[in-house]
């Protein structure tokens, strides 16, 4: 899920030259503004490695949960859930594609906002959009806990360490159980401030303790969000019948793609522009006018 966001692209402009009397003056419409579907290589990626069971304890400070069991308030690192909690857990593997015996981290949440995972990122670019994403699976069988198992609910927060304020946050809501172990991806898009280069990402519990609610997480990543904006215009509604995007001027119907750098940022903005309608044609009239003749235009 993505939170709302705003961006100003000062490099998009229009040349206001009216060449056609009677054409409507309008600015078209902004269709969408999202991150590119493929954000590119990860700045950070955590798949917890691979190997035999059990996996190693997480580094100090990564989680507030206790390593070594699936009791309430504890976690384990494993490459499979098979035989971990028969009759209550799905049998399944980690999420990472192509890794043999890949690990995931399995939690039994306790009451309160226990920290599943946290990490501080430094060296970030100011005024830049990022996406933090992770995969989570509800491990409970549909019939576990007489069919009333608790459901995982996680809160992802991006925190400014200078004052502890929350830059952005989003929750998964209740993650329902399914007929087999299902991995679901959740993500948060956020933007650093004008001088912000360090942020803290924290994944915490929002679900009550009780029977069920057990979950696995895997494949956490941080990537740049290259903003993708779509806009559409009718040529006849544009003064001058033309549109300027960056350094390019368009006067013909079609679909155009421009890459615009964002000042003081590590982002580029990709703009897809669709122009409809007919290109303007300015008629050329040749008239012979004698002294004393009258020529009326537009009447």
pLDDT of amino acid 27: 36
Task: Give the pLDDT of residue 283.
Answer: 61
Given a cut of 80, whether residue 264 has pLDDT beyond it is no
The share of the chain scoring above pLDDT 70, in percent, equals: 81
Residue 100: Cβ-neighbour burial (10 angstroms; 0-12, 13-18, 19+) = exposed
Mean pLDDT value across residues 178-186: 96
Distance CA 230, CA 213 (A): 41
Centroid of chain to Cα 176:
22
- Residue-range domains of the chain with CATH: 1-36+226-299 (no CATH), 44-224 (2.60.120.200)
Q: Is 121 helix (H, G, I), strand (E, B) or coil?
A: strand
Mean of the per-residue pLDDT values for the chain?
A: 83
- What is each CA distance from 143 to 107, 118, 140, 177, in whole angstroms? 19, 32, 8, 9
> Measured between alpha carbons, how far apart are the two ends of the chain, in Å?
58
Spatial neighbors of 163 by CB under 8 A, at least 6 apart, are none
- Quote the distance between the C-alpha of residue 3 and its chain's center: 8
Sign of CA dihedral 164, 168, 172, 173: positive
Q: What is the pLDDT of residue 21?
A: 27
Element (H, E) at 137: strand 129-138
Would you state the pLDDT for residue 18? 28
Phi, psi torsion values for 82, nearest 5 degrees: -60, 130
Q: Look at residue 11 and tell me whether its pLDDT is greater than 70.
A: no
Q: Per-residue confidence at 259, pLDDT binned at 50, 70, 90?
A: confident
Banded pLDDT at 299 (limits 50, 70, 90) = low
CB 1 within 8 A of CB 184: no
Does 154 have pLDDT greater than 60?
A: yes
Per-residue pLDDT of 99-109, as tens digits, reads 999 999 999 99
pLDDT tens digits, 87-133: 999 999 999 999 999 999 999 999 888 999 999 999 999 989 899 99
> Are 130 and 124 a contacting pair, CB within 8 Å?
yes
> How much is the average pLDDT of 33-42?
69
pLDDT of residue 262: 67
Give which of 229, 244, 203 is closest to 64, Cα–Cα: 203
Q: Is the pLDDT of residue 19 over 60?
A: no
- The span from the CA of 230 to the CA of 97, in Å, is 32
Q: What is the pTM of this model?
A: 0.74
Q: Is the pLDDT of residue 14 over 50?
A: no
């Amino acid at each position: 899920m993505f939170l709302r966001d705003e961006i100003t692209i000062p490099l998009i402009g229009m040349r206001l030259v009216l060449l056609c009397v009677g054409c409507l003056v309008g600015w078209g419409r902004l269709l969408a503004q999202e991150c590119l579907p493929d954000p590119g290589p990860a700045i950070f990626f955590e798949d917890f490695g691979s190997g035999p069971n059990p996996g190693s304890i997480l580094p100090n400070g990564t989680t507030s949960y206790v390593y070594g069991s699936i009791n309430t308030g504890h976690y384990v690192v494993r490459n499979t859930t098979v035989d971990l909690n028969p009759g209550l857990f799905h049998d399944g593997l980690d999420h990472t594609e192509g890794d043999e015996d890949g690990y995931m981290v399995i939690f039994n949440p306790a009451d309160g906002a226990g920290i599943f995972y946290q990490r501080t990122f430094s060296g970030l670019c100011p005024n830049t959009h990022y996406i933090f994403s992770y995969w989570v699976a509800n491990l409970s069988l549909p019939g576990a806990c007489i069919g009333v198992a608790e459901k995982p609910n996680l809160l992802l927060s991006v925190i400014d360490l200078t004052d502890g304020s929350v830059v952005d946050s989003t929750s998964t809501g209740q993650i329902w159980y399914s007929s087999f172990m299902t991995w679901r991806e959740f993500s948060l898009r956020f933007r650093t401030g004008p001088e912000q280069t360090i942020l803290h990402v924290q994944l915490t519990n929002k679900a009550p303790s009780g029977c069920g609610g057990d979950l696995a997480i895997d494949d956490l990543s941080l990537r740049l969000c290259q903003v993708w904006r779509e806009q559409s215009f009718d040529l006849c509604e544009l003064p001058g019948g033309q549109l300027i995007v960056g350094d390019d001027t368009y006067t013909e119907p079609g679909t155009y793609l421009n890459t615009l750098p964002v000042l003081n940022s590590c982002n580029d903005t990709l703009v897809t522009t669709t122009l409809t309608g007919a290109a303007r044609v300015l008629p050329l009239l040749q008239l012979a006018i004698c002294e004393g003749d009258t020529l009326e235009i537009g009447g």
